[in-house]
Amino acid sequence: MDKKKLKLYFILGTVNVAGRDPLVVLEEALKGGVTCFQLREKGPGALEGEALRSFAEACKELCHRYNVPFIVNDDVALALEVKADGVHIGQEDGDISAVRRQIGPSMLLGVSTHNVEEALAAAETGADYIGIGPIYSTKTKTDTQPVIGPEMVRRVASLLPGLPIVGIGGLSERKARAVIQAGASGIAVISAIAGQDDPLEAARRLKGAVRLSLTGV
Ligand SMILES: Nc1nc(C(F)(F)F)ncc1COP(=O)(O)OP(=O)(O)O
Ligand SMILES: [Mg+2]
């Protein structure tokens, strides 16, 4: 996977937009410069069935209008059904090599990791990128592993220099630098964009913070 596509990885589900139109929030984020998008539809009131499928299609169409990869979280069947650009799975979402067999070699496969062992296993089974987190505490995902801080990114990046890494968990404009300097190619956020009054401006500022950190300024 092109590491540049991980600079600002926006993750969204209909439960994260506080009553706003999720497609409007997504387009604002795309205009603000997000470089990758993940549909993460879960929690009370999450879309299902035909409503979920057509929402996923609409998100994919929007992402492709901005030349941004469209990734589906957890739901491999949905990812295949809507011909997503990739799928993202966690440690509890099934066997990584089985998912790779299901999606084939060309679809992107992202894997959540929390320690070096999980990162090595993900790399060995052909993950195109890994998420490492939660870097900081987050209110968005209630069932996270303990907070691990940017240090884990540094350890994994030094062991697997060729594997694209994105940090996730409680990240913001102020907290982006440490993760990038530790070796991540970018940051993944939900509430830092979806929870803001102006998602476009929030995405623009986050992108700027990541860019500055990547140039080592
Ligand atoms: N969704 C995610 N996306 C990323 C990404 F790398 F894309 F930033 N990293 C980590 C997660 C967390 O994934 P998971 O552990 O399966 O929990 P959930 O399915 O609740 O998100
Ligand atoms: Mg998952």
Kindly provide the residue ranges of all beta strands, DSSP E only, lying in the chain, ordered along the sequence: 8-12, 36-39, 70-73, 86-89, 108-113, 129-132, 165-168, 186-189
3-class DSSP assignment, residue 11: strand
Comparing CA positions, the residue from 48, 69, 61, 31 lying closest to residue 198 is 31
pLDDT for position 217: 66
pLDDT for position 13: 97
Closest protein CA for atom 17 of ligand 1: 90
Closest protein CA for atom 11 of ligand 1: 112
Closest protein CA for atom 5 of ligand 1: 131
ipTM tops the 0.95 cut: yes
Tell me the C-alpha distance between 172 and 190, whole Å: 10
Give Cα 123 to chain centroid, integer Å: 17
Per annotation, catalytic residue among 5, 40, 205, 207:
40
pLDDT for position 19: 87
Would you write out the chain's pLDDT as a tens digit for each of its 217 residues? 999 999 999 999 999 998 899 999 999 999 999 999 999 999 999 999 999 999 999 999 999 999 999 999 999 999 999 999 999 999 998 899 999 999 999 999 999 999 999 999 999 999 999 999 999 999 888 888 999 999 999 999 999 999 999 999 999 999 999 999 999 999 999 999 999 999 999 999 999 999 999 997 6
pLDDT for position 41: 98
pTM of the model: 0.97
3-class DSSP assignment, residue 111: strand
Per annotation, catalytic residue among 100, 112, 175, 207:
112
Q: Please tell me if the CB atom of residue 114 comes closer than 6 angstroms to any atom of ligand 1.
A: no
* Contact indicator for 14, 22 with CB cutoff of 8 Å: yes
Q: Please tell me if the CB atom of residue 41 comes closer than 6 angstroms to any atom of ligand 1.
A: no
Q: Please tell me if the CB atom of residue 35 comes closer than 6 angstroms to any atom of ligand 1.
A: no
Count CB neighbours of 175 within 10 A. 18
Place of tokens 């623009």: 204
Closest protein CA for atom 20 of ligand 1: 141
Ligand 1 centroid, distance to 157 Cα (angstroms): 18
3-class DSSP assignment, residue 188: strand
Count CB neighbours of 79 within 10 A. 27
Clarify whether 40 is annotated catalytic: yes
Q: Please tell me if the CB atom of residue 168 comes closer than 6 angstroms to any atom of ligand 1.
A: yes
